[in-house]
Copies of this chain bind each other. A is one copy, B any other.
Amino acid sequence: LSTAPTKPAPRLDLRGIYPPLATPFMAQGGVDYARLEDNLRLYAQVPFRGFVVQGSNGECPLLTGPERLDIVARVRRAVPRPRLLLAGSGCESTQATIELTAGMAEAGADAVLVVTPCYYRGAMSTAALVLHYTQVAEASPVPVVLYSVPANTGLELPLEAVLALAPHPNVVGLKDSGGDITRLGLIVHKTRREDFQVLAGSAGFLLASYAVGAVGGVCALANVLGAPLCQLERLCQEGRWQEARDLQHRLIEPNAAVTRRFGVAGLKQAMEWFGYHGGPCRAPLLPLSEDQAAALRRAFTRNGWL
């Protein structure tokens, strides 16, 4: 194994922490760009590598096509390079994904994050997914990051598909939100000679992901606790694993509360407590009940964050 070729220099260095930006709305329902820019001004002080726009936490399935492009353009204006802007552009059809990808690139995205199509999940074989992503990557003017999020899609991008796509020159990595750390380690291992980087898709397993070779994380919780997550990144990079572990432990419950337990509504409520603009979600997402908000708050207080 010692004579194996080493990993090539990355076309796009993805290392670091990214908040998948929440989308503030006005009471009448439109996107509240002023509040979004307020949030970005605050985030500018956190050593994030960049931002994900139009991930699941941005309520992108609830946005119109023009809104999706406008948000990317506005965020790009507020966030100069070298901060990265990764934009979600995955649609159910290959053609629509290709078109939205082009639009995102034009609006200023440095790369696109392409979620697995899933409505026809019974037909989404490895072959179908490899062809879909290959066609998108061929057509895309910017690098493509694969995106597997079974909690939303009911579908995990198969390991075989990831490995088949990793050598493609325009596929630069994977955001994996499934949380299967064995799979994540194996993907790092099997792509060790490729220009391919793995990002953890949630703060709950961020330390473990670094331990097995991920290069960063796209974490909903970074909308709320960005500095501690960047601190966790630094501790892992410096090999200060005991401190990292103590910090990671205190982040698990808050993270679960703003993702699996209370979803985007929980994330936006918590943002308010930490000085950011969260605000309402679009229907059919409901606001939190009082009991839910109290439970959400406890997840932060009992871990020393509030």
Contacts and interface: CB of A to CB of B under 8 A. Distances in A.
Interface of A: 1, 29, 56, 61-64, 92-96, 117, 119-125, 127-129, 131-132, 135, 151-154, 179-182, 185-186, 188-189, 192, 202, 204-205, 207-208, 211-213, 239, 241, 245, 248-250, 252-253, 256, 260, 263-265, 282-286, 304
B186 A284 contact: no
A205 to B, nearest CB: 5
Nearest to A286: B128
Nearest to A65: B65
Nearest to A289: B127
Contact of A208 (B94, B151, B154, B212): B212
Nearest to A242: B239
A185 B248 contact: yes
Contact of A179 (B182, B207, B264): B182
A121 B264 CA distance: 12
Contacts of A239: 239, 241
A61 B97 CA distance: 12
B286 A249 contact: no
Given A207-B211, A249-B189, A121 B152 contact: yes
A123 B263 contact: yes
Given A120-B284, A122-B152, A179-B181, 12 more contacts: A128-B286, A129-B284, A131-B283, A179-B182, A182-B204, A182-B208, A185-B252, A186-B253, A205-B208, A208-B212, A211-B241, A241-B241
28 contacts: A29-B95, A63-B93, A93-B282, A94-B282, A94-B283, A95-B283, A119-B152, A120-B263, A120-B284, A122-B151, A123-B263, A123-B285, A123-B286, A125-B286, A131-B284, A132-B283, A135-B283, A179-B181, A182-B204, A182-B205, A185-B207, A185-B249, A185-B252, A189-B250, A207-B211, A207-B212, A212-B245, A239-B239
Contacts of A252: 182, 185-186, 189
Task: Report which residue of A56, A212, A265 has the largest number of chain B beta carbons within 10 angstroms of its beta carbon.
Answer: A212
A135 B284 CA distance: 10
